[in-house]
Structure 1
Amino acid sequence: MLSACSRSQSALAPGGPQAREIGLLGWTMFTGGALIFVLVVALTAVAIVVPQERRRWLADGRIVMAGGIALPVLVLSALLGYGLFVARGQLNPGEPALRIEVVGEQWWWRVRYLDGSGGVRFVTANEIRIPIDQPIEFLLTSADVIHSFWAPSLAGKLDMIPGKVNSYTFSADKPGVYRGQCAEYCGAQHALMAFYVVAMEPEAFETWASHQTAPSEQPVTDELRSGQELFIANGCGACHTVRGTSARGEIGPDLTHVGGRLSIGAGTLPTNKGTLAGWVASTQHLKPEVFMPSFGNLEGKELRAIAAYLESLE
């Protein structure tokens, strides 16, 4: 239970105005429900403990009408009205400064940053970086089954449905790393379908975005060159793209700058040389039923070379 105290994925630790409104709505409804609960328990206790001759007033029809009908109608109507008011504000947060398309796939996230005309500026995966204090519109869909996009510290959840595009807009008002999760059961590895939203200062975001449009850096050491050659020779480019190389696959995540991401496998493991080697060798053990096969045929030296090459792609 103490894992919830990390606050990296908590609706009770809002990092933006939309999440703050949702959090306040939650606390308001919790408080209203708690007050009604306390009142009902108190009246129940009175009915049990107080002698009958001293609690005749409980049988008064006016008490029943007030406590059983009028009070619930007033409280629930007030909470409903407040909830609708908050929901209306969530739907009209302002003109977006940036549009990002997120496609849910089993079991990872394809992320496309769009330009002003709606074209794709660059593609990444499982990690979304945004500038703070700017409304960001998310266009959400799915390539296979129903998923649900949820970053609790930034906004509410929204379903991702095949053949349909749902959209909503939210922003972050302070830099930080916010964890998100698929909130709709989507198959065996649903629990390992996470993502990170990294909120950055606008200048830092523009620097990062400009770097993402560039092709991958060419290897500069023998180990990195060997890793690149092994990556291509073992057919990794049939599923993955590494811009600047012959790898042009679009089935799996774009790996052009994978070394600069916080995690691999959609939040399954942190990104480093050791986890990259383990992932390549034992994908089906670490995350069974994903489309990527395990490359158990590779020797340790080959795995280390491929992992070093991928880690260098920042």
Structure 2
Amino acid sequence: MMLIGGGLIWAGVVMVLFYAARKAREPHSERVAGRVILWCGVIGPVIVLTILLSYAVWLIPNLRPWSSAIAEGVRQIEITGEQFWWRVRYLDEQGEVLLERANEIKMPVGQRVVFLVKSPDVIHSFWVPSLGGKMDMIPGRTNHIMLEASRPGIYRGVCAEFCGPSHALMAFFVEALEPLDFEAWLQGSRTAETDRASEGHALFLRHGCGACHAIDGTEAQGTIGPNLTAFGARGSVGAGTMPNTPENVARFIRHPSEIKPGSRMPSFAMLPDGDAERIATYLAGLK
């Protein structure tokens, strides 16, 4: 196709040059040259480019793989870039939320997944280098990117657009599971239970943590901060900032802005001795 197109362009140029050389020997050649320039240099290209542009605009919807993928019922995961963490929502075929988590994503191997990416505050950029390209998350709109994992594993993702003082402390991880394992995880996560009788759970609610964070199946239903359901199964604290250990969790509770500058989580340095540690132990048991 490229050879045919190049050949046609070459033939057209040769014909125009031959015509111009022939007409240059005739009287009133300047008038003829002006017409050639007008038609071949202005009117002709404008007509051709207008046709090509119109055709390209008409093709754009069909060139977006995610548009047909959504219509075919391909799995959708909504990712919201926050300052400075990731809200992860798994959607059903109607676009309703099945499950909400944070900072870690699970997807089935060998299946296309459409990620609906957005932001409530500043521009972020969703990027998993090992799985595909990046997509900006722009306040006020929802963008789409389709990814597919060819083999099981854990893939690191980052924010690829500067978004504030903790931009570099905003990692996330994508775990690709075999389809049956993914479905089992999804179903099991929707029926997750927690120890509501523990001292840590009572302290979590008493100190107001449930106003910002949610834990499925409990009175904690906050939406400002990350959902902490199954928090103990996560590999890191603070969106990849530190390993997920009770000591690091307690430290983050007491001094979040020291670990993650610009974090919107308030400091809880005023908690009585041992309370942060008991809450951290409780969270570590949520799996």
Normalised by the length of structure 1, the TM-score is 0.68
Q: Greater relative contact order: 1 or 2 (C-alpha under 8 angstroms, separation 6 or more)? A: 1
Q: What is the distance in 2 between the residues matched to 1:132 and 1:299? A: 46
The yes-or-no answer on 1:257 pairing with 2:230 is yes
Q: What is the distance in 2 between the residues matched to 1:258 and 1:112? A: 15
Q: What is the distance in 2 between the residues matched to 1:188 and 1:294? A: 17
Contact 1:91 1:168 in 2 (8 A): no
- Partner of residue 148 from structure 2, selected from 136, 159, 171: 171
The yes-or-no answer on 1:190 pairing with 2:203 is no
The yes-or-no answer on 1:307 pairing with 2:280 is yes
Task: Give how far 1:288 is off.
Answer: 1.9
Q: Residues 174 and 233 (structure 1 numbering): CA distance in 2 closer, same or farther, change over 3 Å? A: same
Contact 1:137 1:168 in 2 (8 A): yes
Aligned to 2:271: 298
The yes-or-no answer on 1:128 pairing with 2:105 is yes
Aligned to 2:193: 216
SS at 1:304 equivalent: helix
Q: What is the distance in 1 between the residues matched to 2:208 and 2:196? A: 19
284-293 vs 134-143, which moves further: 284-293
Counterpart code for 1:159? D
Overall identity of the aligned pairs, in %:
47
Task: Give how far 1:90 is off.
Answer: 8.9
Across the aligned residues of Structure 1 and Structure 2, the Cα RMSD in angstroms comes to 1.9
Q: What is the distance in 1 between the residues matched to 2:191 and 2:243? A: 24
Aligned to 1:285: 258
The yes-or-no answer on 1:242 pairing with 2:219 is no
282-291 vs 227-236, which moves further: 282-291
Counterpart code for 1:173? S
Aligned to 1:140: 117
Q: Residues 300 and 204 (structure 1 numbering): CA distance in 2 closer, same or farther, change over 3 Å? A: farther
After superposition, give the CA deviation of every residue in 1:215-262 in whole Å (9 maximum; x if it has no partner).
Answer: 432256xxxx11111100000011001122211110001111111112
Which of these two proteins has the greater Rg computed from alpha carbons? Answer: 2
Task: Give how far 1:306 is off.
Answer: 0.5
Task: Give how far 1:92 is off.
Answer: 2.8
Q: Residues 304 and 293 (structure 1 numbering): CA distance in 2 closer, same or farther, change over 3 Å? A: same
User: Unpaired runs of 5+ in structure 2?
Assistant: 1-60
Q: Residues 298 and 152 (structure 1 numbering): CA distance in 2 closer, same or farther, change over 3 Å? A: same
Q: What is the distance in 1 between the residues matched to 2:229 and 2:84? A: 20
After superposition, give the CA deviation of every residue in 1:119-168 in whole Å (9 maximum; x if it has no partner).
Answer: 00010011110010000000011110100000000010110001111102
Aligned to 1:97: 74
Task: Give how far 1:304 is off.
Answer: 1.8
Q: What is the distance in 2 between the residues matched to 1:89 and 1:203? A: 31
User: Unpaired runs of 5+ in structure 1?
Assistant: 1-87
Contact 1:216 1:242 in 2 (8 A): no
Task: Give how far 1:214 is off.
Answer: 1.9
Contact 1:141 1:165 in 2 (8 A): yes
How many equivalent residue pairs? Answer: 223
